């Protein structure tokens, strides 16, 4: 027993100490940067780029920090992933406990001519799980290659808007807006942005993500 303290005094000291620790823990949690997870395929993974600093998520993180936002980008993109692959790895990816998810999947489903209804169902399940986990989402859309025919595009292209409306989440309609089909902004395969193209995508996506930050903080 400490000299000069009776049992009531010791209880008071312990209570005050517990309150101080709780306050410090809360202050530390508030000071932690917002974690944004880029959950997608090669477009987010930075396929073909010589430096990770040049990929879309890294450029986006730099832009957000330049605007005064305390954020940490988690790049959880895997080149070649379809919506089926993304759904399969979602749960363990969420072990990083993101405050916001940028969902960018579907391009590889279209490139392989897979059923748009299946892709939509997979994205629906991903969004449902994120909603259940109370994690805000920015959905990044894609447009089907036109060599697959108008019927395929008519089923594939609208699914992002449909899902955005269903879950009431922000939509960036076409992730390659301003970059697609421009040889100066793409690598030799004509599909993946080069460093200049990635910078344009990040710049255009930036205001959409910024608008989603209040919801991420609230969650």
Entry field: residues in the chain: 219
69-99 pLDDT per residue, tens: 999 999 999 999 999 999 999 999 999 999 9
Q: In the annotation, is 177 catalytic? A: no
Residues 6+ apart with CB under 8 A from 211: 170
Give the domain 33-218 fold: Rossmann fold (3.40.50)
d(CA 107, CA 92): 22
Give the predicted TM-score (pTM) of the model: 0.86
d(CA 141, CA 105): 8
Q: Is the pLDDT of residue 217 over 50?
A: yes
Strand order in the sheet with 137-140: 71-75, 34-40, 100-104, 137-140, 171-172
Residue of 7, 50, 51, 189 with catalytic role: 189
Does residue 44 have a pLDDT over 80?
A: yes
* pLDDT, the chain, mean: 91
Answer left, alpha or beta for residue 46, where phi above 0 means left and psi between -120 and 50 means alpha. Answer: left
Please answer whether residues 96 and 135 qualify as being in contact, where contact means their C-beta atoms are separated by less than 8 angstroms: no
Is 7 a residue of the active site?
no
Annotated active-site residue in 41, 81, 164, 192: 192
Please state the domain extents for the chain.
1-31, 33-218
Specify whether 42 is catalytic.
Answer: yes
Q: From the candidates 7, 41, 42, 70, give the one annotated as an active-site residue.
A: 42
Tens-place pLDDT, residues 125-156: 999 999 999 999 999 999 999 999 999 999 99
Distance CA 149, CA 107 (A): 15
Percentage helix, strand, coil for the chain under 3-state DSSP, each rounded to 5 = 55, 10, 30
């Amino acid at each position: 027993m400490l000299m000069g303290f009776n049992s009531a005094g010791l209880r008071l000291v312990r209570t005050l100490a517990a309150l101080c620790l709780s306050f410090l823990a809360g202050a530390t949690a508030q000071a932690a940067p917002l974690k944004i997870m880029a959950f997608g395929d090669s477009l987010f993974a930075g396929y073909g780029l010589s430096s990770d600093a040049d990929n879309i998520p890294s450029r986006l993180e730099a832009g957000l920090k330049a605007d005064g936002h305390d954020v940490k980008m988690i790049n959880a993109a895997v080149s070649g992933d379809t919506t089926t692959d993304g759904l399969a790895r979602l749960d363990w990816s969420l072990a990083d406990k993101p405050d916001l998810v940028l969902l960018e999947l579907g391009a590889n489903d279209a490139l392989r001519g897979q059923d748009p209804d299946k892709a939509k169902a997979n994205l629906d399940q991903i969004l449902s799980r994120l909603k259940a986990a109370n994690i805000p989402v920015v959905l990044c859309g894609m447009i089907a290659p036109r060599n697959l025919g108008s019927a395929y595009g008519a089923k594939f292209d609208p699914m992002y808007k449909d899902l955005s409306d269903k879950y009431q989440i922000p939509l960036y309609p076409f992730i390659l807006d301003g970059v697609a089909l421009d040889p100066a902004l793409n690598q030799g395969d004509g599909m993946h942005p080069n460093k200049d193209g990635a910078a344009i995508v990040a710049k255009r996506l930036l205001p959409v993500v910024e608008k989603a930050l209040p919801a991420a903080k609230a969650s």
